[in-house]
């Protein structure tokens, strides 16, 4: 079944798709005929205001067996460790690092994608559609007769351990580690897993992810639009009398409603507001070929822009395998204090600036203006090594969620997850002075 999944290629395109079991299900020449083909219901899903400029207008038309309004009233449910309360604990400007987030055994506690959402940090205000949240998901069982949709923002999902089979109103996607997917605001989806599964989520409020502008890079490079994949239409006409649960995240709280049918009953659809996925191996890396570093913004896959030109609400950045060839240059990431906040995660391998301690399935947070950089061992090695062309980060994929907002860590992140590495600061304690006031051109460290 998984091998049969099909996709359409492109980023933000106008797509059109019909389940092959119902050829001609898309109306011809109009969106909302008096009677739709196959007696389907027409429903528009708007991802932007009607009056947005055409270049940023997002909407899709769905042709479904029953409209999504066919449900019982929503009622509040327990939200576990999902939160938008950024004042749970006092601010902490320290460098923070987490060991791999633990996944409970299914025999101990069954946890699906929704019940396994844990908010790590965030900032901003959901009600005014301005801000972000970073979540960790840990799960060991599939969602059964349950789906989820987010009224607050878009989810950029980064699986780290275990693949996800995601059912959406637009079709099915298989998303594996080293791939990402984006489920945009309002789209209903359900997640099947096949083993103990873990990953990261970047949620943005009020804006959508875009490809970064390329400027003098030109027309090609970084994440190319053709490499983004959108599912093709697929439906199930499945009755679940009063037993299918639709879970909604609204103003940071969870609500549930019952309905009699599967929500994945869309026979055909067209539009430019869709879920999509991307394989990080397809990223076209650009790097310095002479000396010094280009800033890590050259590794941006997707950006969610703010109203300030050149400043992102959030960027999704990766550090993929590449060549390092810069002459007379300290090649690892430089020491840095940043007006942006940087959360890093590791999908696989070993991050170049910290070979130990920063593990797959864990993370780190360097808040605005908090200093960070290579540990002592990395500095000593990189300062003395003979500079030759070398492969960097083979077998590794680290990433960064970078934001212009000042992130607050949740109570779960600081106290309850039991994964905080309280000794993180010690990785810089071995740094020592190499200052040589009487010699401007030292030959190396001793």
Q: Given this model, what pLDDT does residue 445 score?
A: 59
- Provide the token pair at 95: 């460098």
- With bands split at pLDDT 50, 70 and 90, how would you rate the model's confidence at 357? confident
Tell me, what's the pLDDT at 444? 61
* Structure-model confidence comparison of residues 446 and 93, the more confident one: 93
Q: Is 135 annotated as a binding residue?
A: no
The predicted model gives 384-397 an average pLDDT of 93
**Is 305 a member of any domain?**
yes
Q: Is 197 inside a domain boundary? A: yes
What confidence tens digit (pLDDT) does each residue in 261-319 have?
999 999 999 999 999 999 999 999 999 999 998 899 999 999 999 999 999 999 999 99
Q: Name the domain count of the chain.
A: 2
On whether both 304 and 417 belong to a single domain, the answer is yes
Q: What percent of the chain has pLDDT over 90?
A: 90
**CA–CA distances in Å: residue 123 to residues 153, 220, 344, 380, 387:** 13, 33, 16, 37, 42
Q: How far apart are CA 114 and CA 137, in angstroms?
A: 8
pLDDT for residue 350: 87
Residue 379 placed within a domain: yes
Is 366 annotated in a binding site? The answer is no
Report yes or no on 60 lying in a domain. no
Using H for helix, E for strand and C for coil, what is the string for 39-69?
A: HCEEEEEECCCCCCCHHHCCEEEEEECCCCC
Provide the pLDDT for residue 290: 94
**Is residue 342 annotated as involved in ligand binding?**
yes
pLDDT of residue 241: 83
**Do residues 392 and 315 both lie within one domain?**
yes
Residues 220 and 309 in one domain: no
Q: Please work out, in degrees rounded to the nearest 5, the angle formed at the alpha carbon of residue 153 by the alpha carbons of 151 and 157.
A: 115
Q: Which residues contact 14 (CB under 8 A, 6 or more apart)?
A: 270, 271, 272
- Residue 351, annotated as binding a ligand: yes
CA 144 to each of CA 1, 116, 171, 370: distance values in angstroms, whole numbers, following the listed order? 18, 14, 17, 43
Q: Based on the domain organization, do 80 and 224 belong to the same domain?
A: yes
The answer to whether 191 and 139 have CB atoms below 8 angstroms apart is: yes
Per-residue pLDDT tens digits for 17-70: 999 999 999 999 999 999 999 999 999 999 999 999 999 999 999 999 999 999
The string of pLDDT tens digits covering residues 138-194 is 999 999 999 999 999 999 999 999 999 999 999 999 999 999 999 999 999 999 999
DSSP letter assigned to residue 444: -
Report how far Cα 356 is from the mean position of its chain's Cα atoms. Answer: 25
3-class DSSP assignment, residue 28: coil
Residues 228 and 291 in one domain: no
Rounded CA-CA distance 322/399 in Å is 14
pLDDT bin (cut points 50, 70, 90) of residue 355 is low
Residue 329 resides in a domain: yes
Task: Count Cβ atoms within 10 A of the Cβ of residue 121 and give its class: 0-12 exposed, 13-18 middle, 19 or more buried.
Answer: buried
Could you read off the pLDDT of 199-221 as tens digits, one per residue? 999 999 999 999 999 999 999 99
Give the count of beta carbons closer than 10 Å to the beta carbon of residue 104.
14
Listed residues 220, 254, 280: the one ending a domain? 280
Least confidently predicted of 11-25, 41-55, 377-391, 430-444: 430-444
The reply to whether 347 and 404 lie within a common domain is yes
Average pLDDT over residues 221-246: 95
Domain check: are 342 and 424 in the same one?
yes
pTM of the complete model beyond 0.85: yes
Say whether both 293 and 214 belong to one domain: no
Residues 319, 367, single domain; the answer is yes
Q: Are residues 85 and 221 in the same domain?
A: yes
CA quadruple 211, 216, 221, 226: dihedral, nearest 10:
50
Q: Where among 280, 310, 333 does a domain terminate?
A: 280
Catalytic residue among 84, 208, 293, 328: 293
The contacts of residue 316 (CB under 8 Å, 6+ apart) are 156, 180, 202, 209, 300, 301, 302, 303, 399, 400, 401
Phi, psi (degrees; rounded to nearest 5) at 260 = -95, -10
Establish whether 366 is a catalytic residue: no
Specify the 3-state DSSP secondary structure of 352.
coil
Residue at 437 is within a domain = no
Residues 256 and 300 in one domain: no
Q: Give the other-Cβ count within 10 Å of 293's Cβ.
A: 15
CATH code, 139: 2.60.120.10
pLDDT tens-digit series, residues 49-62: 999 999 999 999 99
- Residue 90 in tokens: 């006092």
Q: What is the mean pLDDT of the chain?
A: 95
The tokens for 14 are 């106008």
Instruction: Scan for tokens 């997917």, then name that residue.
Output: 181
Range of the domain at 390: 285-428
What's the CA gap between 110 and 113, in Å, rounded? Answer: 10
The answer to the question of residue 134 being in a domain is: yes
- The pair of three-digit structure tokens given for residue 35, joined into one six-digit string: 């009677």
| Phi then psi dihedrals of residue 379, to 5 deg | -60, -45
Percent of the chain with pLDDT over 70: 98
Whether the per-residue pLDDT at 351 is higher than 90: the answer is no
Residue 150 belongs to a domain: yes
149's CB contacts (< 8 A; 6+ apart) are: 186, 187, 188, 189, 246, 247, 248, 249
- Among the listed residues 219, 227, 148, 214, the one whose alpha carbon sits nearest the alpha carbon of residue 180: 227
Alpha carbons 42 and 97: distance in angstroms, whole number: 48
Identify the helix (H) or strand (E) that includes residue 377. Answer: helix 376-384
83 and 232 housed in the same domain: yes
């Amino acid at each position: 079944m998984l091998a049969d999944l099909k996709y359409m290629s492109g980023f933000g395109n106008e797509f059109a798709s019909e389940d092959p079991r119902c050829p001609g299900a898309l109306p011809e020449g109009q969106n909302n005929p008096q009677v739709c083909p196959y007696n389907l219901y027409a429903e528009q899903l708007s991802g932007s205001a009607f009056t947005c400029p055409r270049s940023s207008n997002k909407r899709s038309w769905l042709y479904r067996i029953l409209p999504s309004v066919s449900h019982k009233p929503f009622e509040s449910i327990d939200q576990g460790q999902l939160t938008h309360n950024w004042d749970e604990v006092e601010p902490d400007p320290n460098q923070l690092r987490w060991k791999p987030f633990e996944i409970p055994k299914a025999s101990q506690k069954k946890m699906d994608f929704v019940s396994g959402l844990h908010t790590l940090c965030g900032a901003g205000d959901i009600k005014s559609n301005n801000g972000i949240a970073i979540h960790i998901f840990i799960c060991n069982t599939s969602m059964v007769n349950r789906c989820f949709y987010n009224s607050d923002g878009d989810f950029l999902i980064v699986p780290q351990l275990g693949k996800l089979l995601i059912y959406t109103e637009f079709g099915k996607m298989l998303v594996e580690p080293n791939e990402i997917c984006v489920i945009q605001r309002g789209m209903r989806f359900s997640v099947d897993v096949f083993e103990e599964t873990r990953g990261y989520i970047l949620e943005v409020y009020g804006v959508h992810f875009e490809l970064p502008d390329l400027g003098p890079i030109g027309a090609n490079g970084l994440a190319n639009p053709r490499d983004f994949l959108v599912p093709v239409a697929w439906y199930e006409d499945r009755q679940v009398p009063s037993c299918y649960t639709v879970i909604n995240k609204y103003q940071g709280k969870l609500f549930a409603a019952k309905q009699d049918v599967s929500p994945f009953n869309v026979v055909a659809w067209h539009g430019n507001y869709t879920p999509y996925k991307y394989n990080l191996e397809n990223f076209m890396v650009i790097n310095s070929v002479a000396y010094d570093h280009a800033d890590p913004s050259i590794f941006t896959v997707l950006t969610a822009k703010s109203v300030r030109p050149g400043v992102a609400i959030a960027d999704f950045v990766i550090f993929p395998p590449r060549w390092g060839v810069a002459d007379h240059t300290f090649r690892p990431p430089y020491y840095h204090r940043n007006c942006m906040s940087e959360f890093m995660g590791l999908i696989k391998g070993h991050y170049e600036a910290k070979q130990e301690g920063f593990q797959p399935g864990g993370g780190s947070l360097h808040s605005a203006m908090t200093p960070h950089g290579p540990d002592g061992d990395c500095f000593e090695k990189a300062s003395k090594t003979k500079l030759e062309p070398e492969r960097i980060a083979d077998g590794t994929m680290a990433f960064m969620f970078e934001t212009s907002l000042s992130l607050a860590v949740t109570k779960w992140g600081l106290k309850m997850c039991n994964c905080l590495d309280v000794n993180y600061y010690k990785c810089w304690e071995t740094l020592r002075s190499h200052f040589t006031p009487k010699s401007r051109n030292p030959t190396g460290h001793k």
